[in-house]
Amino acid sequence: MRKQKSNKGNLILTGILSIIAFALVIVLCMQHGLFGGSGDSEPVSASTNEDKEKEPENKGQENIQTGDGENLSEISSEFKFTDGYTINGVDVSGKTLAEIKESVLEAESANPKDSVKITFVLGEDRIEANTQALEFITDIDSTIEAAYKASKSGDGNNKEFKSSWSVSPDTVDAFVHATLDEYVKEPVEAYASGFDTENLTFIIEESENGFSINFDKTIADVKTSLNLGDYDTEIRVESEVVTPKNTAEFLRGYLCKVSSTTSTTTSSSNRNTNIRLVCEKLDGLVLQPGEQFDFNKYIGERTEAAGYKEAGGIFNGALRQELGGGICQANAMIYHSVTKADLQVDTRTPHTWPSDYVEVGTDATVSWGGPEFRFTNSSEYPIALHAYYGNQKVTVELYGRPLPDGMTIKLKGEIVSRTEAKVEYKADSDMALGEKVTEKSAHDAIKAKSYKIYYDADGNEIKREDYKDSSYPMINKVVRVGVRAEDGTIFKLNKETGETIAPEGYVPPTPTPDPDDPENIDDPDDEPEPTKKPKKPKKGEDEADPTSEPGGEDAGNSGDTNETDNSGDTGTSENTGETGDDEVVATPVDAPETGSEDGNDDPVPAG
């Protein structure tokens, strides 16, 4: 039994020793590169700090990978080139990388930067370029790497290696542009610098040709020449003349009157003066493609110093006199002409109540610090405004590119809904009993829409587009009623009917006779006429009715009082005159010609 136990223990010990021995063999094999190698790789010893200091530094690059996944800086300092290998004409046989570096670098060709001479041929011009912006890079590291790989693998087919220089691509781009950009010229399009309001023609500036260069091809040609070592070279530059799209001759024959809108003004001289001032400022205005017109910014504040007069304007829902009243009528003519020219309207606001010089839903109000009107020249050509006033007519014409195929556009409006305004009565203790004054005129609440209607050259409707909607708020009529009796008693007011009601128990005072009234003075000289005996009526005559009273005018008072309207409401007048495409004839609305307002009860010019 002991012998069997002893043998069993020996077997266990032998197994343990075998495992340890096998592990040691694996470790040694791994240290010598026997696992994971290519089969013919040489063992590479770990570099000491001293070895690392002796390793060559790569010129321009560090840690360049070799084909075997190694970096030149990690190659063992013990590696030596086999016989017959040269780099830049230097024999590196039997030498380490550290030993060859200095001699190889010295034998490398010089940086060609200072020897480069490039002449660009541009048409008949020869341009000597400044090449200092060019930078060159060497492939010395990749050349050494190629030699190392060949030596290591025993490749004897190619044992001579030579480094070269190449131009940095980024610097070529900058170099070419720096030299040739000044020869590039954008074409100058013919453009309208103004508008002749007498001859109604644009003032056109002549166009100029441009000049372009094929930079992509020029840059590629420079890179090719330099990389081939052709450092003294001529590069022929491809270029072409660029003609403008629009010439002055074309614009003069193409631009024309596109639209026109006219309306009749009132007989108010102040209002017409304000309209005339706006037209004079607008006349001849030219907008280039993409430019925006802003009424308030362009016309400016309406002041007395600028020549504007007081005319009807809306304040707190009522009409009163304001500087610049009436200018909205000129603005509405711009709005119509711009729409009919198919240009972009950016900002438009309707009045508080419809104007009677255009159809309902097609007005446009403006005020300083309030509603704005803006539009943009959304065409590809210049436009001009020709605005004028005369004989109670205001006109705005728009000149620019014609609409296609003889097409025309009209702006039409219509009422969608109407809600009747009411009457509000307010007691006024400072007014005599029963006296009435209209503080605000009534204006119904109106919702309106407008249409932009397109017609062909023969006047047939092509299409109809929904355009700008308008909403006019309800303005109730406000009437102030006097409630102070002659004796100072304050009556009550029925706000629904406007009737005055005496306080309970009120007794009107007995009128005191006026002693100065001739009817109340006794005349002593007046004596009664003697009573005469009535004559007997002749035969055939009717006898007088003994119950009849002497005849005369009724001196009684019906109690009605006249209502005075101090709102300035002038009523609605229907426009007359011409009714062609250029004339706006409005559908009468129960509203006066009024101006613009900003919706915040601020005073504004009338429109």
What residue has token string 């009024």?
594
Which residues constitute the domain of residue 368?
255-479
Is 66 domain-assigned?
no
What's the structural domain count of the chain?
1
> Which two tokens mark 573?
């007048």
Q: What is the arithmetic mean of pLDDT over 542-556?
A: 37
Tokens in use for 450? 């407008």
Does residue 439 sit within a domain? yes
Whether residue 78 is contained in a domain is answered as no
DSSP H stretches of helix in 63-211: 97-107, 140-153, 169-180
Question: Which residues is 397 bridged to in the sheet?
Answer: 260, 386
With cut-offs at 50, 70 and 90, classify the pLDDT of residue 125.
very high
Task: Assess whether pLDDT exceeds 80 at residue 1.
Answer: no
How long, in residues, is the chain?
A: 607
Helix, strand, coil % in the chain, rounded to nearest 5: 25, 30, 50
Residue 222 inside a domain? The answer is no
**What is the predicted pLDDT for the residue at 559?**
34
User: Contact, 606 vs 319, CB < 8 A?
Assistant: yes
CA angle 293, 297, 303 (to 5 degrees): 135
Instruction: Name the average pLDDT for the chain.
Output: 80
Task: Give the least confident one: 344-348, 377-381, 508-512, 584-588.
Answer: 584-588
Which positions ≥6 away from 473 have C-beta within 8 Å? 352, 445
pLDDT in the model for residue 62: 40
In a domain, 428, yes or no: yes
* 3-state secondary structure (DSSP) of residue 235: strand
On whether residue 9 sits in a domain, the answer given is: no
Residue 3 reports pLDDT greater than 50: no
Is 183 contained in some domain? no
For 191-206, the pLDDT digits (tens) are 999 999 999 999 999 9
257-277: per-residue pLDDT in tens? 999 999 999 999 999 999 999
pLDDT digits (tens, 9 = 90+) for 46-93: 333 444 343 444 443 344 444 445 566 666 677 888 888 999 899 998
CA distances for 533 relative to 526, 530, 536, 549, angstroms: 21, 10, 9, 19
pLDDT score for 149: 87
DSSP state of 42: P
Task: Concatenate the DSSP letters of all residues of 300-349 into one string.
Answer: ----TTTT--EEEEEETTEEEEEETTTHHHHHHHHHHHHHHTT-EEEE--
- 427 located within any domain: yes
In the numeric block, which tokens belong to residue 556? 């009684």
Neighbouring C-beta atoms of residue 507, cutoff 10 Å: 8
| 286 within 8 A of 194, measured Cβ to Cβ | yes
Tokens of 587: 């559908």
Amino acid identity for residue 490 in this structure: I
Where does residue 135 rank: exposed (0-12), middle (13-18), buried (19+ CB within 10 A)?
A: middle
Could you give the angle at which helices 269-282 and 327-340 cross, rounded to 10 degrees? 40
